[in-house]
Chain A
Amino acid sequence: MTALTAPAGAVADARLRPVPWRRMAGIIWRQHRYALTGEVAVLGAVAIALWLIGTSLHHDYAAALACHPAGSQACAVAVLTFNGSFAFIANGGILLPLPVLIGAFVGGPLLAREMETGTFRYAWTQGFGRHRWALAKLVSLAVAVTVPAWLFSLELAWYYQPYFATSNQGFGLTEMNPFFPALFDLHGVVFAAWTLAAFAIGGLAGMLIRRVVPAIAVTLAVYVGLAFAVGAFLRDHYLAPLVTTSSLNLPGSAWILSQWWTKGGATLSPAAMYQVMDNAMTALNPTINSPGQKASAYSTMLQYLTQHGYTYWTQYQPGSRFWPFQWIESGGLLALSVLCIAAAVWLVRRRAA
């Protein structure tokens, strides 16, 4: 048996210097290397796939744009090729679960596993101090989870670039609205912000529920609810929408929230307006169908109704607000994440074993 030397007579020093924060770095790496390498591996695999198909997509796009003469058979084929290229990913829907999967699977178990397996009794009785331990873990891992997500979102922005060119419609190419729900989440800073929020929700859920699997499940549920609420009810109110009476001049990047007709200051019901348009259609039929007609039926109709005292109102968010909206949403999610992490640390500090 090894002889134990007498314990170094620890002085009861009230001004005991805390164990330095940086010592947590190696600990966090050892404990969470699988989660972190897992995240990087998943994002890396998707990134390589995106890069491969993205290169091909950009190539198809350039070919369609460069095609001459515009109306030829060959150009029609080029346009169809671009529009059909990887259409499954064009609206971004299948990439949408990435932030929550990363966040929930790294954040959910972080504290829940300690509680579930009892290792918190080890960790919280070391000299480092339990709330400092929790804070170091949550903040470091929040950064470690968010940075790869942000890098990945840069690639997403590159990938979706062709779809956002405002000249696309003129060429018959697919053009996506930058506010389109899934794409708004994918090609700006909010992708990283949502990943951070999922992680922070997971961390708090883990501390509240104290079990790994339920914590992950609750994180997924809360995230889906939050993402839906933000997309459906909150996002269009970040800034007061603009209103215009010349909807024809709106570029494709504008996010149209609602449209309605008025006459003499009174708003018309859709049913009433249907009747009005039906009558207008009868009156306009000869004009629209005349051989020399250049303007579209839609614009002819608008013109006719405007002349007869009807006004068409459009409430919208202009495309120029894409980045302000990205920052507003990211700011909100950052605040939410800080709150969740603070609450989790507070619980670690307060929670009786």
Chain B
Amino acid sequence: MNVLEASGLGKRYRSAWALRECTLEVPAGHVTALVGPNGAGKTTLLNLAVGLAEPSAGNVTVLGGRPAGSRAALDGIAFVAQDTPLYKNLSVADMIYVTRNLNRRFDQAFAQARLDELGIPLKRKSGKLSGGQQAQVALTLALARRPQLLILDEPVAMLDPIARRDFMDTVLTAAADGVAVLLSSHVLAELERAAGYLILLSRGQVRLAGEVKDLLATHRVGSMEELALSYLRQNATEVAR
């Protein structure tokens, strides 16, 4: 099963295309890294995948053909948006309540145990938590929905290195338990040890997609970072010409 399929997918904001002719098949069973420079179209692609944005062209489905944004799709996906938005005036316990009641499935015991383990007080208002704690709460709420696909938009961009590591550990544990993960980032180092599948985006187009080990072998490079950088540089040179 493909967790994400896009064909001819495009999104235009006013006159500029944020994403163009994107055709993709992301297989299940991986942590998929969506990388590319700022403004490459990563957030646009993820917004289309979760149904926050409507395609201007083409189409996108998730979890084996469910239309993005449909009830069936949202039932199987959990999404953590950039800056991990929470209702700042609600306590963590209230955020759990809200998320539980907005979804058909919710693993209350898991959510409580995890927050307990992280030492995040349930009575504290979300807005009073540190950035790292807010990110952990958002991730915990997403995982407690027991999704088949977890989508994270720049999840670690705002976090300090320790919070970043804690966060990624949680994501990897979920992935090891069989949750497909799709995350975007421009911080390649963090993805190195996590990603099994790579999608490289630049200026609204998919430049490269495939399993990391195959890509490394084909392109004869040592690391994902090297691969991405060489690819982006080469691309920039082409544009310059």
Hey, which bits of chain A sit against chain B, CB under 8 A?
Answer: 1-8, 10, 12-14, 16-19, 23-24, 26-27, 30-31, 34, 117-119, 121-129, 133, 350, 352-353
Q: Is the Cβ of A24 less than 8 Å from the Cβ of B146? A: no
Pairwise interchain contact B102-A19, C-beta atoms closer than 8 A = yes
A10 to chain B, nearest CB (A): 5
Which A residues are in CB contact (< 8 Å) with B88?
117
- Of A6, A27, A34, A127, which is in contact with the most chain B CB atoms at under 10 Å from its CB? A127
Contact between A31 and B177, CB atoms less than 8 A apart: no
Of A10, A26, A353, the contact of B148 (CB 8 Å cutoff): A10
Contact between chains at A123 and B97 (CB < 8 Å) = no
In angstroms, Cα B98 to Cα A27, docked, is 6
Q: B81–A122 contact, CB under 8 A?
A: yes
Min Cβ gap A125→B in Å is 4
A127 and B117 contact, CB distance less than 8 A: no
Q: A128-B103, A352-B53, A353-B47 are in contact. Are A30 and B90 (CB under 8 A)?
A: yes
Smallest CB separation, B166 vs chain A (Å)? 9
With known contacts A1-B117, A121-B81, A352-B53, A23–B177 Cβ distance under 8 A:
no
Q: Are A117 and B103 in contact (CB under 8 A)?
A: no
Bound Cα distance A133, B103 (Å): 12
Query: Are B97's CB and A30's CB within 8 A?
Result: yes
Known A4-B143, A121-B52, A353-B52; contact A16-B97, beta-carbon cutoff 8 A: no
Residues from chain A with a CB closer than 8 A to the CB of B102 are 19, 23, 27, 123, 126-128, 133
Chain A residue with minimal CB distance to B84?
A122
Other than A31-B90, A122-B86, give 19 A-B pairs with Cβ distance below 8 A. Answer: A1-B170, A2-B117, A4-B173, A6-B178, A7-B148, A7-B179, A8-B105, A13-B72, A14-B72, A18-B71, A19-B103, A26-B97, A34-B89, A117-B85, A118-B85, A125-B79, A127-B103, A352-B11, A352-B47
User: Considering the complex, which residues of chain B in the window 69-128 have a beta carbon less than 8 Å from any beta carbon of chain A?
Assistant: 71-72, 74-79, 81-83, 85-90, 94, 97-99, 101-105, 110, 113-114, 117
